[in-house]
Amino acid sequence: GADVSKLLSQTGYVTYDPGFVNTATCSSKITYIDGDAGILRYRGYPIEQLAEKSSFLEVSYLLIYGELPTAAELTEFTDKIRLHTLLHEDLRRFFDGFPRDAHPMPVLSSAVTALSTFYQDSLDPFDQEHVEISTIRLLAKVPTIASYAFKKSIGQPLLYPDNSLGYVENFLRMTFGVPAAAYDVDPVLARTLDMLFILHADHEQNCSTSTVRIAGSAQANLFTSISAGVNALSGPLHGGANEAVLEMLGDIQADGGDVEAFVRRVKNKEDGVRLMGFGHRVYKNYDPRAAIVKKAARDVLARLHKPDPLLDIAMRLEEIALADDYFVSRKLYPNVDFYTGLIYKAMGFPPKMFTVLFALGRMPGWIAQWREMINDPETKIGRPRQLYVGYSSRDYVPAEDR
């Protein structure tokens, strides 16, 4: 309700752009999105090709270093990551201190921040070797941290990494295995999770990535900048959406599966209820990642022989929404997280872990964006302006006179 032109004349001319809907704060060579056409490319490579043919660590390399690795470069990168999967024993003990029912996202962000206390000798953002080793440590240790957050929440002992296994396989074993018992990783599940990580690996200047960049613009180190990103990701309008989708589907099921009634509530904006997993700031067309995930959800559920009535509800919701003028006129389509929760659930992850899986996937994107930011001579400390709408000036009144 503020008179913006009056405010502007008082403040001097600034751009008033809540939510940075139309403000570019950096230039970037990492990820290209055409939201109207539904296109996503990492370093020029279409997401569909990467999801089908590449691997998560190869995509991580691509995002961070700008080119696909040669076979030798990929082996070297993978081996380096393998060498750093262990957590310091003192950091391992952190997990004893959190409440049993702690949400794993703040546990993850706390542990990522804590990494900066264990590696104080290599935190200089402008020292290439420091940044390199921090990059490897983050990629290597975050799956260990994530599985420990999970183990803590279910009261099981923490497993050490088994570095004979691949990146995703190791994570699955630490998460679902128990000591002194064999754990055979289902290769199809491992491949699906690897592919989901690829889909989440970067998405240019989204809320968490912008948070990483803005923290880093103050020259906060890589660990603390990325921890800030983890916290931003935990919000239900961002990474928390996959968890919220499953809750929503469960609520609809509990109400007798009346999808039409739920859609009516959304359209009437009853209690601000939204169709979670729908809509995107940038995609005004089908999110290309959602198409890939939808197919994977069908395949994985069939493979696991775990038919899930929630998948039927989700598909019905999509069908109704895509034929309804409310959603069509607002260009609301399923986003990447509309179907991911169903796959994670079928794999055995509880909803609390869904956003953590998003964070594992997004890690190389955050790292690549932080590194691009720190090496960009145009980078300035992030410091938006405001339109001040408070009192102009008034005199202090002692407490007894108020």
Q: Which residues bind ligand ACO (CB under 6 A)?
A: 237-239, 241, 266, 274-281, 330, 332, 335-337
In this complex, which beta carbon is closest to ligand ACO, that of residue 174 or of residue 232?
232
In order of 144, 177, 186, the CA distances from 81 in angstroms are: 12, 21, 22
Helices (H), 177-308: 187-200, 207-217, 222-233, 241-254, 259-267, 288-303
CB of 19 to ligand ACO, least distance (A): 6
- DSSP characters for 9-37? HHH-S----GGGTT------SSEEEETTT
Say whether 116 sits in a helix, a strand or coil. Answer: helix
For the stretch 347-357, what's the b/e string if a residue is b when 16 or more beta carbons lie within 10 angstroms of its beta carbon?
Answer: bebebbbbbbb
Closest by Cα among 324, 175, 316 to 249: 316
**What is the DSSP code (8-state) at residue 203?**
-
In this complex, which beta carbon is closest to ligand ACO, that of residue 104 or of residue 239?
239
Q: Is 72 exposed, middle or buried (0-12, 13-18, 19+ CB in 10 A)?
A: exposed
CB of 258 to ligand ACO, least distance (A): 17
CB of 282 to ligand ACO, least distance (A): 8
Closest by Cα among 85, 56, 77, 72 to 165: 85
The CA distance from 222 to 212, in Å, is: 9
The CA distance from 349 to 367, in Å, is: 25
Question: Cβ-closest residue to ligand ACO?
Answer: 279
The residues carrying an active-site annotation are 280, 337
Closest by Cα among 188, 301, 200, 213 to 242: 200
CB of 366 to ligand ACO, least distance (A): 14
In this complex, which beta carbon is closest to ligand ACO, that of residue 301 or of residue 332?
332
In this complex, which beta carbon is closest to ligand ACO, that of residue 239 or of residue 365?
239
The encoded tokens of residue 53 equal 């043919």
